[in-house]
A and B are shown apart, each in its own frame.
Chain A
Amino acid sequence: MIKKFDKKDEESGSGSNPFQHLEKSAVLQEARIFNETPINPRRCLHILTKIIYLLNQGEHFGTMEATEAFFAMTRLFQSNDQTLRRMCYLTIKEMANISEDVIIVTSSLTKDMTGKEDVYRGPAIRALCRITDTTMLQAIERYMKQAIVDKVPSVSSSALVSSLHMVKMSYDVVKRWVNEAQEAASSDNIMVQYHALGLLYHLRKNDRLAVSKMLNKFTKSGLKSPFAYCMLIRIASKLLEETEAGHDSPLFDFIESCLRNKHEMVVYEAASAIVHMPNCTARELAPAVSVLQLFCSSPKAALRYAAVRTLNKVAMKHPSAVTACNLDLENLITDSNRSIATLAITTLLKTGSESSVDRLMKQISSFVSEISDEFKVVVVQAISALCQKYPRKHSVMMNFLSNMLRDDGGFEYKRAIVDCIISIIEENPESKETGLAHLCEFIEDCEHTVLATKILHLLGKEGPRTPSPSKYIRFIFNRVVLESEAVRAAAVSALAKFGAQNDDLLPSVLVLMQRCMMDSDDEVRDRATFYMNVLQQKQKALNAAYIFNGLSVSVPGLEKSLHQYTLEPTEKPFDMKSVPLANTPITEQKTEFAPVATSKLPEKPGPTRQDIYQEQLAAIPEFQGLGSLFKTSEAVQLTEAETEYVVRCVKHTFARHMVFQFDCTNTLNDQLLQKVMVQMEPSEAYEVLHYVPAANLPYSQPGSCYSLVRLPEDDPTAVSCTFSCTLKYLVKDCDPNTGEPDDDGYDDEYVLEDLEVTVADHIQKVLKPNFAAAWDEVGDDFEKEETFALASVRTLDEAVGHISLFPVVYVEAVGHISLFPVVSVEAVGHISLFPVVSVEAVGHISLFPVVSVEAVGHISLFPVVSVEAVGHISLFPVVSVEAVGHISLFPVVYVEAVGHISLFPVVSVEAVGHISLFPVVSVEAVGHISLFPVVSVEAVGHISLFPVVSVEAVGHISLFPVVSVEAVGHISLFPVVSVEAVGHISLFPVVSVEAVGHISLFPVVSVEAVGHISLFPVVSVEAVGHISLFPVISVEAVGHISLLSL
């Protein structure tokens, strides 16, 4: 038999790997025979193979030894043995980065690439390009151009692919070969076609027009290569996405036509491209889905996998489009390839009905231990989505999840499960206790610090509010005894929350705290000491400020402020109030999961819009010393969009000043504006201190000028003001083509629309994770309690009509504005629904919703709420029939919202007149309105005025019809149901008829209020007038209400 390498190896039988005991030094020693004459091709070939094998195994070659072997190898070019020569090319490529002076072989390779032996030419080109740099590339440019258009396909392909590799390094040189590539693209050889297309795209991808032309050409001429088709589809779908072209574009037609291609590869690529297009309608998806359906029954596992993976993606957005494939998917759930089975089941979970859930879950649990973590995460995500869809199934899911939690698995997998359980707890209050119990069990033996701290935080938040909080204390304290520092510290914080909210637990918590104060870690000790002292004070305000609600400032802002503080040494302690407040609610994004996504990297919080403005303003010398930027409002247009000069204003509020930033654009191409500024005439005691003009405003280049205004110092309540604005500038005519201005110009001015400063500009939303605590923290000092004699009012309807009597507690309210933002995350939901949760706010809002002749004047106060909220509130207009007439005065119209009015279809004829006045409907609200028609005829008029129902509330509205006819009239005034309130609505029908009347005025019920609604019917008839004035109901509010009802 022929023995190829080492005889000994084979005879000793130590495995059958002839390379097993290769020694680098021995091989290099052997490489000396490269220098022998004549060359023994066979032996040299074996040695080269060994060298490449060693390199491939990760053997490290020193520069010296590699260079030596490389130079010896160059001698082998003298041999004409084909395989030996080819192995030389491979060696050159492998050693290009290890050996020095590899360019020594340039001439040999150039000779081979232009020689007669076609077998050498392609590989020689590829080896040559591997060792070529930009300067040398110019020397071989001529050969490369020839090679690209060579009639031998392997030569042409090699040249094209090598050019592609070099685009990154020498774009400018390779760009010059575009004509040759173009010629190659019309080659008959399918691979040459594909490579030419790839190169052409890479050279042109930044030129959208060129890409578009290229696509046009190739889609018409038709290509032979399925690879090239796939490439074309990708280019086309990218272009579609970039240009946001509609799906009537010829590009879309092209992609769709590829669904009928004879190659499965192309068909799949096209189907996948369509599925991934944003905004695809079900009808456009249908053909793609049906080809994927066919693939589901393919004998090829890869094709089934591809199909089901893509269907899974479709199911996320369009579950109904996939239901047609349910039968095929069912067949796949027993697929021997577990990846396919998992994807099939998770897809079915998304598309199937509630009844199939149990069966599918059983199926999946039979093999969940066999699949990889990536797919387990997919399963968890599917469960998470399912729980949102079928809340009633949460107990099945919870069991399944807790079993999964006990199994082995990596961090990503465990985190997905924990997140899923947390989201179930948040959405289903009745699952809270079981969920928390599972999580408690999990942290007993949890190796992931991040998860343990997260769960401890959750326990601290939710635990104290459960019926038996004491049982969680043990789990938490176990962590203090057993875990690492980070977990111990988190456990201490959680304990403190129990102590702060449960008075009967406080003594025990204090004892535990005492023990924690002896901890070996200083962070744990510090926390324990701090909480101990806070808890001992037994003051709600302290608890709220230091235990429940953490930092409410923006973290990048804090970082900047602290940095600034360290730069300027001062005696004064650092003032937390100087830090801008965080204004982005920390909402957990419910992401859609790709079936194969492992996990998302945590997104780094970027600087907010406000942070960017702060930076820009700080760069202007006139605005230094204003302190930190409190709030930046949304831009307001001061001109029509189509005028000569377009001006919009952004208001920046500082502690004692306001800066108005005017972003101006000159739309006249024959004018150059200079010294542009906006002169402002305030209506109130505002004082314009300074103008910062924009020096030049050439055609279509936006520029900004600024005005600095001091807020009135003597009257802190003068928060609103109207400025009449005039744009002043020096005009110079200029040549439209060159932009060359004339020497002299003339002054001119342009009148802008008035600019309003409103209360909203002085108010910022902040996050208060614990609303109840924040409420307590405000304390009694800020409570405004007044009783108004409504003695003349007999009936509720009459009262509504008279609400206009309600005096506007205007001045006080304004003073407290800074306190206003005491709203927790949950509360944000409420606010937007109106219920302005803090006492001060009540002052404003109560002004508001009750619009009537007098109140109209105050509407400008209204936007006391952050921008998002405005959308909702403005929906509010709790307008009594009498008030309707006034709504037309409503200035608080938000442009974005305007579009939705037309969606109000359910509105009865009478109501229509009013609704058309209400342009401010938030997008979410729109969909729900249509649910309303259940409402009885009388009610329609009212309800249609207030369709402000949050998305989650949808399902519950159907409960409404239970309400008796009389009641409807009232309830319909405030169907402002917040997410958390959902559960409560169902309480409504229970309410007695009289009571309904009251409640219905302010059904702004916060989570905490749950228990209390039942109190409502108890309210005496006399109370009616009062309660209805104060829509702010929450746990504490109940206390107030009873006060009010006195």
Chain B
Amino acid sequence: MTAQTCPRQHQRTTMEIASLEPSLYTVKAVFILDNDGNRLLSKYYDKELYPSMKEQKNFEKNVFNKTHKADNEIAFVEGMTIVYKCSIDLFFYVAGSAQENELMLMAVLNCLFESLGQILRKNVERRCLLDNMDGVFLVVDEIIDGGVILESDPQQVIQKVNYRLDGSEQAYGFDLFDYIVGNIDGQTDRSQCA
């Protein structure tokens, strides 16, 4: 945790030096917002960065306002590098310090997105995410631990979480049935509402 110096002050004063203190603490924050910019999940890993809930939500608002119009993948807000992705009515964000390797942040974002895609059977949208919130919490927990990238391979994450879509036994049954009778489309319908 020694590397967790205050990012705002730190980066403003040392931006010129720009050599990053070698550290595993790569991720400053992760959050998922809906298409109104409301928080569905957020984790801040640097205690000195936005210590209060109000600051966090302001930051999220600010990020949302700057990113929701165009899917540009990367932005720089309030002195932090933000990589993001949107899917239907969801926005996924991973934030790191200004000097952080953008590709490492991208690796985290991709892992998060793909893991959730698998857990939610490709229905990465708000309703489905909220219905499986426990799985989402577990996925985030397996990818990042206290700001350290714990796992970046979605397959590994899925395996570790070992999460089954809610009501999945039943759903599997239907899937099998659908499969047998050739009604592949039904599968999507069902899992969407699962």
Contact = CB atoms under 8 A, between A and B. Distances in A.
B160 A122 contact: yes
A596 B70 contact: no
B134 A83 contact: yes
A159 B49 CA distance: 26
A126 B143 CA distance: 13
Interface string A229-257: 01100110110010000000000000000
A1025 B189 CA distance: 103
A891 interface: no
A198 B193 contact: no
Tell me the dominant secondary structure on chain A's binding face. Answer: helix
B146 A165 contact: yes
B166 A269 contact: no
A21 to B, nearest CB: 13
A52 interface: yes
A338 B69 CA distance: 12
Contacts of A305: 73-74, 102
A230 B152 CA distance: 15
A269 B101 contact: yes
* Chain B interface bracket (under 10, 10 to 19, 20 to 34, 35 or more): 35 or more
Nearest to A165: B146
B137 interface: yes
A237 B17 CA distance: 12
Contacts of B152: 191, 227
Contacts of B22: 201, 205, 231, 234-235, 238
Given A202-B2, A601-B9, A2 B170 contact: yes
Nearest to A49: B134
B2 A336 contact: no
A301 B161 CA distance: 30
B76 A375 contact: yes
A235 B3 CA distance: 13
Interface in A17-64: 17-19, 45-46, 48-49, 52-53, 56-58
Nearest to B57: A58
Contacts of B141: 90, 93, 123
A70 interface: no
A154 B161 CA distance: 11
B39 A191 contact: no
A48 B133 CA distance: 10
Interface in B135-179: 135, 137-138, 141, 145-146, 148-152, 156, 160-164, 166-167, 170-171
B160 A336 contact: no
Given A265-B107, A301-B73, A596-B79, A195 B138 contact: no
A638 to B, nearest CB: 37
Contact of B193 (A2, A234, A594): A2
B24 A87 contact: no
B33 to A, nearest CB: 12
Given A265-B107, A305-B74, A158 B145 contact: yes
B192 to A, nearest CB: 10
A198 B148 contact: yes
Contacts of B18: 276, 313, 594
B66 A168 contact: no
B72 A301 contact: yes
Contacts of B11: 597
Contacts of A600: 12-13
A241 B14 CA distance: 15
Interface in B1-55: 1-2, 9, 11-13, 15-16, 18-24, 39, 41-43, 53
Contacts of A276: 18-19
Contacts of B20: 234
Contacts of A46: 134
Contacts of A16: 126-127, 130
B88 interface: no
B13 A601 contact: yes
Contacts of B79: 374, 596, 598
B12 A194 contact: no
A285 to B, nearest CB: 15
Contacts of A268: 101-103
B164 to A, nearest CB: 8
Nearest to B66: A372
B83 interface: yes
A426 interface: no
A384 interface: no
A596 B106 CA distance: 18
Contact of B160 (A119, A306, A598): A119
Nearest to A91: B137
B104 interface: yes
Contacts of A241: 19
Contacts of A338: 72
A16 B35 CA distance: 13
A661 interface: no
Given A53-B133, A301-B73, A198 B23 contact: yes
B150 A157 contact: yes
Interface string A592-612: 101011111100000000000
A337 interface: yes
A306 B149 contact: no
B75 A300 contact: no
A34 to B, nearest CB: 15
Contacts of A157: 150-151
A4 interface: yes
B1 A165 contact: yes
A318 interface: no
A198 B1 CA distance: 11
B90 interface: no
B131 interface: yes
A944 interface: no
A339 B74 contact: yes
Given A49-B134, A300-B73, A306 B102 contact: yes
A537 to B, nearest CB: 47
Contacts of B116: none
A925 to B, nearest CB: 27
A711 B126 CA distance: 85
A337 B138 contact: no
19 contacts: A4-B131, A46-B134, A53-B133, A83-B135, A87-B137, A123-B141, A164-B24, A167-B2, A168-B1, A191-B152, A191-B156, A202-B23, A231-B24, A238-B22, A300-B73, A306-B103, A596-B76, A597-B11, A601-B9
Interface of A: 1-2, 4-5, 16-19, 45-46, 48-49, 52-53, 56-58, 82-83, 86-87, 90, 93, 119, 122-123, 126, 154, 157-158, 161-162, 164-165, 167-169, 191, 194-195, 198-199, 201-202, 205, 227, 230-231, 234-235, 237-238, 241, 264-265, 268-269, 272-273, 276, 300-303, 305-306, 313, 336-339, 372, 374-375, 591-592, 594, 596-601
Given A49-B133, A241-B19, 19 more contacts: A2-B171, A2-B194, A19-B130, A46-B134, A154-B156, A154-B160, A164-B1, A167-B2, A195-B148, A198-B24, A235-B22, A302-B103, A305-B73, A306-B101, A337-B75, A372-B66, A591-B16, A596-B81, A598-B79
Interface of B: 1-2, 9, 11-13, 15-16, 18-24, 39, 41-43, 53, 56-57, 66, 70, 72-79, 81, 83, 98, 101-107, 126-127, 130-131, 133-135, 137-138, 141, 145-146, 148-152, 156, 160-164, 166-167, 170-171, 193-194
The 3 closest A-B pairs by CB, nearest first: A58-B53, A198-B24, A301-B73
